[in-house]
Structure 1
Amino acid sequence: MATEKTNDNVRAVDRALDILMAFTATDYELTAGQLLKRVDLSRPTLYRLLYTLEQSGFLISSGEPQKFRLGPAVAHLSHVWTSSLDLNEVAKPMLRRIWEETGETVALFIPQGAYRSCISELPSTQPLSFKRGVGYRERIILGASGRAILAYANVTPEQLKEYAADTKVDLKKYTEELQRTRERGYAVSNQELIQGAVAIAAPFFNGGGQVAGSVGVFGPSARLEAGHVKKLGALLIKEAKLISEALGLRRG
């Protein structure tokens, strides 16, 4: 009997979690009818769990017809999780895999207004290599790692113009390159910041779907030829998606 009761409790928790996970950034408010289409529950079971979740603060409801949305208890857990989140630790396995597979320098960047900063780097051990180091800061409009971020940042033409001030950036061509970056899923720069250096970078996103930074590979053009760049781009996209998921982004 005790085992059966434990199993029932576990199933109830699973079902309650299914209800919470039915909400998304775009469908943040759902009726009971809409929830029934998303979770495999009978109507009585759904209402019983909705009542329990509302009593414990995980859901709130209002309106006629009654609509449910996530409650303050979820916000509390989100705050705790975000506060304990260390991006370097989260991304470490992904950076290590890229580094081991490519043998090139791998780095993680985050946006800081008109700049982007390196917060983690695994330098290449090869004699001919390029590295900048943790703490390196560069204008976000320059280089692949910055372009990978801007391509998904919904920046306005005015912001781009501000970012490009005092540079030789052609904004028309740059805007076209941002579009190509979105089509490929990664950005490429060839000798843009360092003579003889090639950079490939892909964006990663936070749990809300906003671009949170980029992960890049850097090496000499002698090793990073066009065919190799495409393979590296695919690898970066794959690992950047894993970083995004680790930051809370749900699989689309």
Structure 2
Amino acid sequence: MTEKSKDSGVRSIQRALHILLCFNWNERELTMTEITEKIGLAKSTTSRLLMTLEIEGFIKRDSSTNKYSLGHNIYYLGRVAKESMAINDVARPIMEEINKATQETINLYLLDNMESVCSFQIESQLPIRQAAKIGERSPLWAGASGRAILSGLEEKTWYQLAKELKAYTPNTVTDPDIFIDIMKSIKEKGYVISLGEKNDQVGCIASPIFDVHGKVIGSVAISGPVFRFPEDTDLFSTLIVDGAKRISRQLGYYEENSKSNNNEKGVG
């Protein structure tokens, strides 16, 4: 095989993959014209690629509408990928990057039965550091990691849990009105800071993680001693929001898809 034919083969694979990536939650069926416009190829080239993808089961065509949608092999591979994808493995390299940039402990928390559960941790290497116990559970209203998860749930849940507030330390927010204001702020900014609320010596900043269906499944957090927590949290907030978004994307989450799903369900 010549280098020219190798390049042509690679190009064809790239173009076929671009066709598959044309589909999303908002556009589950597309005409050939729509696909052609999206990938910027001639109709003849698009037609050949679609025919091959259809034969191989990656695309299917509705004969009554002439619209294309993803085929059964995509569904099969998606199921395989989902079963093979452990969230800890997805999150680990991103958490390691945040740990390296901040020198603080990075935790992954998962939602389970209306509690946040510590699932994975990259510990700080500094002599004085914060470390959680793997498997440790906390109510969602307590601290940054739980509130970050709670921010992705329905607002009526915020008000329900606001009735359960109690003081862990003198710094714990126990006023329901202030708590709801905090939840609204998290929803707007994408992160939450907690200083000395669950433990008066610990500061934490966290951001929510979403799955392929747009549902909140957990949060990622930076935690460390309060005395070392920066007054200017721009670096920490940027790192934690970006990290949470990257983990979510690798789990298949796309914000526009989530909005579409919520609209379909009548969620405001």
Do both share a fold (TM > 0.5)? yes
Partner of 2:79: 79
CA contact under 8 A between 2:115 and 2:137: conserved in structure 1?
Answer: yes
Distance 1:17 1:192, change over 3 A: same
Where 2:38 maps in the other structure, the secondary structure is coil
Q: Of the candidates 233, 237, 243, which is equivalent to residue 239 of structure 1?
A: 243
Q: Of the candidates 149, 159, 166, which is equivalent to residue 164 of structure 2?
A: 166
Mapped to 2, the partners of 1:26 and 1:174 lie a distance apart of 34
Q: Of the candidates 210, 213, 216, which is equivalent to residue 218 of structure 2?
A: 213
Where 2:39 maps in the other structure, the secondary structure is coil
Stretches of structure 2 that go unaligned for 5 or more consecutive residues are 167-173, 257-268
Distance 1:4 1:105, change over 3 A: closer
Query: How many residues are paired up?
Result: 249
Mapped to 1, the partners of 2:103 and 2:46 lie a distance apart of 52
Cα displacement (A) at 1:251: 9.0
Distance 1:143 1:6, change over 3 A: same
Distance 1:231 1:41, change over 3 A: same
Partner of 1:99: 99
TM-score between the two structures when normalised by the length of structure 1: 0.87
Q: Of the candidates 203, 206, 211, which is equivalent to residue 208 of structure 2?
A: 203
Cα displacement (A) at 1:108: 0.6
Where 1:121 maps in the other structure, the secondary structure is strand
CA contact under 8 A between 1:25 and 1:208: conserved in structure 2?
Answer: no
Mapped to 1, the partners of 2:26 and 2:192 lie a distance apart of 28
Partner of 1:143: 143
Cα displacement (A) at 1:241: 2.7
CA contact under 8 A between 1:114 and 1:141: conserved in structure 2?
Answer: no
CA contact under 8 A between 1:141 and 1:147: conserved in structure 2?
Answer: yes
Alpha-carbon RMSD: 2.4
Distance 1:66 1:148, change over 3 A: same
Partner of 1:189: 194
Matches within 5 A, 1:103-142: 103-142=103-142
Cα displacement (A) at 1:5: 3.8
Mapped to 1, the partners of 2:85 and 2:229 lie a distance apart of 34
Deviations 1:35-84 (A, max 9, x none): 12201211122122222212222122226542211121111111111111
Where 2:227 maps in the other structure, the secondary structure is coil
Partner of 2:181: 176
Where 1:218 maps in the other structure, the secondary structure is strand
CA contact under 8 A between 1:29 and 1:68: conserved in structure 2?
Answer: yes
Where 2:117 maps in the other structure, the secondary structure is strand
CA contact under 8 A between 2:210 and 2:218: conserved in structure 1?
Answer: yes
Mapped to 1, the partners of 2:78 and 2:249 lie a distance apart of 15
Mapped to 2, the partners of 1:101 and 1:206 lie a distance apart of 26
Cα displacement (A) at 1:86: 1.9
Moved more, 43-52 or 77-86: 43-52
Matches within 5 A, 1:46-85: 46-62=46-62, 64-85=64-85
Letter in 2 for 1:173: I
Moved more, 114-123 or 166-175: 166-175
Mapped to 2, the partners of 1:151 and 1:63 lie a distance apart of 44
CA contact under 8 A between 1:196 and 1:221: conserved in structure 2?
Answer: yes
Stretches of structure 1 that go unaligned for 5 or more consecutive residues are none
Mapped to 2, the partners of 1:88 and 1:73 lie a distance apart of 27
Percent identical pairs in the alignment equals 31
Matches within 5 A, 1:16-35: 16-35=16-35
Cα displacement (A) at 1:187: 0.9
TM-score between the two structures when normalised by the length of structure 2: 0.83
Mapped to 1, the partners of 2:34 and 2:164 lie a distance apart of 53
Moved more, 212-221 or 118-127: 118-127
